[in-house]
Amino acid sequence: MHGVAGVILISSLAGCNRDEARVYHVPKEASPPPQPAPAATPEPTAPETTMPEAPASGMGTPSSVAMALPQLKYQVPEGWQEKPPSEMRVASFAVPGPNGQSADVSVIPLPVVGRDLELVNMWRSRVQLPATSDPNAVNQAKPVAVGAEQGWLFEFVSEQPLIGKSRQRLVVAMFTRGELSWFFKISGDDAIVTSQKEKFLQFLKSVSFAESAPAQMAAAPAVQNESAAPPPSIWTIPSGWQSVPPSQFLLAEFSVPGANGAKAEVNVAEMGGTGGGLLANVNRWRGQLGLGAIGENDLAKLAQSLDVPGGKGTLVDITGVDAKTGAPTRLVGAIVAQSDQTWFYKLMGEGQIVAQQKDAFTKFIQSANYANAR
């Protein structure tokens, strides 16, 4: 596996307010990715970027990473319904269509993107198109306005019906600003996405940014392939856990229901290298619970060793308030290093459910067969 570095999304969305400019915050990595360079052709071509073999500078040491927080603003098109952002999304929308069908819109920032052909093939896999080795596939992107800047627009459609009797269409705009690459995506039923494309382009034009104060946070782990969760044979899934389609850049995701509508969630991500180090990621989790950053001395008191296949992992147990909902929340997180990869496990939700599921969560981590993930 070749990991694509991601950023933690610390903002939240609430309600559906048509044509209202909203402000969201996303950390920005301290080390900039390579700047895009258009191919030398008479017509505009998509940018060429390079994915480093190791994590970006500042992500490989066990210390907090200082990041500035740019503010993202945009206008919500009429008819789009805002959804709470998931682990890697700054913004998320549902676009309803006829017969109960809908399209999905997401905004995801990443400090480092993969090689452009790898990105193209990742998106092709989302609509079950075969991978291509043709470097000219990158140049099929068209220039598109993202706010006052120029981005690049890719479009893919499945050859066979994937959503009922309909083909699936995926439109992605990518754009690099300073130290972050931004990905704006609309995906779903071919007819719905086609009908919403003009609104999607207007949404892109409405985007603007402003700078804010620095913060201490780690980069969130991301996986290289958003097409599917890994085979269930990697883990033994505890009884009662409900597998759900993983959000972008997660390997697997589960919902754990409790009494009176309460629930907890489990997710798994993987990244090449150290993924930012132990302290930075613990502080990232603390930030999700509205807690301040800690230092190395406090980390030693909080972290617990965990026996895992082939070695040791680290487990932390944190209680606070969900930064998205304001509800009292408990988080149990684990970080497991395997060769040149780091795996991130998180159990988060209502405190009583997390307490009940902690032992099952630990056994789930210890059941991993990482050979099946490769």
Strand partners for 24:
72
**Pair 277, 63: CB distance under 8 Å:** yes
pLDDT over 90 (residue 184): yes
Report the pLDDT value the prediction gives residue 55, as an integer from 0 to 100.
27
Domains within the chain, CATH numbers bracketed: 21-216 (3.40.1000.10), 232-373 (3.40.1000.10)
The pLDDT, as a whole number, for residue 273 is 72
Q: Is the pLDDT of residue 208 over 70?
A: yes
- What is the reported pLDDT for 129? 86
Query: Looking at residue 318, what is its pLDDT?
Result: 96
SS (H, E, C) 197-212: HHHHHHHHHCCEEECC
pLDDT in the model for residue 259: 81
**Confidence check: pLDDT of 7 > 50:** no
pLDDT higher for 266 or 47?
A: 266
pLDDT bin (cut points 50, 70, 90) of residue 310 is confident
The secondary structure element, H or E, covering residue 265 is strand 263-272
- What pLDDT is recorded for position 275? 67
| pLDDT tens per residue, range 154-180 | 999 999 998 888 999 999 999 887 767
Mean pLDDT on 134-163: 89
- The yes-or-no verdict on residue 196 having pLDDT over 90 is yes
pLDDT of residue 284: 82
Long-range contacts of 322-326 (CB under 8 A, 24+ apart): 322/288, 322/289, 322/290, 322/348, 323/10, 323/12, 323/287, 323/288, 323/289, 323/290, 324/12, 324/84, 324/85, 325/12
Quick one: pLDDT at residue 249? 62
Q: Any bridge partners for residue 228, and if so which?
A: none
Phi first, then psi, for residue 25 (nearest 5°) are -120, 135
- β-partners of residue 169 are 157, 188
Total number of residues shown for the chain:
374
CA distance linking residue 173 with residue 188, whole number of Å: 15
Q: Which residue has the higher pLDDT, 222 or 260?
A: 260
Give the mean pLDDT of 30-56.
35
Q: Residue 240's pLDDT is what?
A: 92
Determine the Cα angle at 286 with ends 284 and 289, to 5°.
120
- The pLDDT-based confidence of 71 (bands split at 50, 70, 90) is confident
Task: Return the pLDDT at 8.
Answer: 30
pLDDT tens digits, one per residue of 326-372: 889 999 999 998 877 889 999 999 999 999 999 999 999 999 988 77
* Structure tokens that stand for 53 in this block: 């073999």
User: What mean pLDDT, rounded, does the chain reach?
Assistant: 74
User: Which of the pair, 262 or 334, is modelled with greater confidence?
Assistant: 334
Average pLDDT over residues 283-305: 86
Mean pLDDT of 237-250: 83
pLDDT on residue 288 = 82
Confidence of residue 289 (pLDDT cuts 50, 70, 90): confident
